[in-house]
Amino acid sequence: MDGSDDVCEIFCEPCEKAKQKTIAEGFCVDCSEYLCGQCFNHHKRFKQFEHHVLQDKNSMPLDPKHTVSKYVCTSKCQVHADEVIKYICKACDKIGCNVCMTIDHRSCDGVRYIPDEVKKSDTSVEIQEFAKMIDVMHVEQQELYDKIVQNFQASDKMNETAGKDLERQKDQIVTFFESLYDNIKTEIVRKQTSDDKDFKTLLKKASAMQTDLKNRKARLNILGKGQQMCEAFIFMKCTQAAMGKMSSDMMELSENGTKKPARYEPTLDVEELKEDIKCLGRLLTGEPDQITQSKINK
């Protein structure tokens, strides 16, 4: 500020709250407030402020933003929002504000002022050791995180492989049963084709016999109406000889025409298979080497 005509006046903050403009004569590091001479003197008298660090006009900060001291507590009490945590009960290993200590630790032997405690060398060592502990835990946590990522990737890959293996098994089963299906289907088609051919041949022969008999009957009727008895007699004898052969052919047609139709009967193996097989496989979980060992033990 030396050598400058611009002097920034700093006012007492408690007085400003009372709507008064009073030049600051000092500063409380713990309260982070500028104080006029009267407030500065009163601040020393109250028991609750007895451990506060006060700075006079010559040593107080000129910029309110630069008021932090390594021996100043600023964290607010979670129970008493208007109070700052400044004490530790070493007997209970609990920290708290002045109100906490008064209410909960009145009878405890070991309530200490935190700024006084942190000035001790062993406290500094404790903080350093705690920092190292955090570093160690951070490394362990990072290793755990990396392990989880690796396990997730391995699990995802194994699940994908398991799905592919299942699809592959399904395709094998489908191919196997389609092959069995195709075999019996081919047999049915072959039987159907053969029967169609045979029965069409039989029908053709039976139809030819019907036509022949019809024509012979018609010829016999014509000869009878024409009183051609000799011709009718000769025709009868010729027809009798032909009918002997026709009768033999009809017997053959009768035998071939009464073939038993085909009937499909499912094998009992399929039903037994359905009873025996309750699932296609098992989903094994664990590390790949553990799964392999599990298969060997089975």
At position 180, the amino acid (one-letter code) is L
pLDDT tens-digit readout, 201-219:
888 888 888 888 888 888 8
Question: Quick check: helix, strand or coil at residue 43?
Answer: helix
pLDDT tens-digit readout, 45-63:
887 787 788 888 887 877 5
pLDDT tens-digit readout, 67-124:
456 677 878 899 998 888 999 999 999 999 989 999 999 889 889 988 888 888 788 8
Residue 151 Cα distances to 27, 166, 277, 283, 284, angstroms: 58, 22, 33, 17, 15
Residues 151-155 have a mean pLDDT of 90
Percent share of the chain, pLDDT over 90: 21
Q: Are 83 and 76 in contact (CB under 8 A)?
A: yes
Average pLDDT over the chain, rounded to whole?
Answer: 82
Residue 222 Cα distances to 210, 212, 226, 228, angstroms: 18, 15, 6, 9
DSSP 8: -
Closest of 248, 251, 217, 250 to residue 235, by C-alpha: 217
What is the C-alpha separation between 98 and 106, in angstroms, rounded?
Answer: 10
Residues 10-22 have a mean pLDDT of 89
pLDDT of residue 246: 77
pLDDT tens-digit readout, 222-233:
888 888 889 888
pLDDT of residue 103: 92
Domains and their CATH numbers in the chain:
7-70 (4.10.640), 73-119 (3.30.160.60), 169-297 (no CATH)
Could you please report the per-residue DSSP string of 201-256?
A: HHHHHHHHHHHHHHHHHHHHHHHHHTT-HHHHHHHHHHHHHHHHHHHHHHHHHHHH
What is the C-alpha separation between 40 and 12, in angstroms, rounded?
Answer: 9
pLDDT tens-digit readout, 244-257:
777 777 777 777 66
Q: Are 84 and 103 in contact (CB under 8 A)?
A: no
Residue with tokens 């609990």: 94
Tokens encoding 271: 């039903």
For residue 287, name the pLDDT band (cuts at 50, 70, 90).
low
Residue 42 Cα distances to 12, 14, 67, 144, 222, angstroms: 13, 12, 21, 56, 159
pTM: 0.45
Q: Are 6 and 30 in contact (CB under 8 A)?
A: no
Give, to the nearest 10 degrees, the angle between helix 229-256 and helix 121-225: 170
At position 147, the amino acid (one-letter code) is K
pLDDT tens-digit readout, 112-141:
988 888 888 788 888 889 999 999 999 999
What is the C-alpha separation between 147 and 134, in angstroms, rounded?
Answer: 19
Percent share of the chain, pLDDT over 70: 87
For residue 282, name the pLDDT band (cuts at 50, 70, 90).
confident
What is the distance in angstroms between the CA of the first residue and the CA of the last residue of the chain? 88
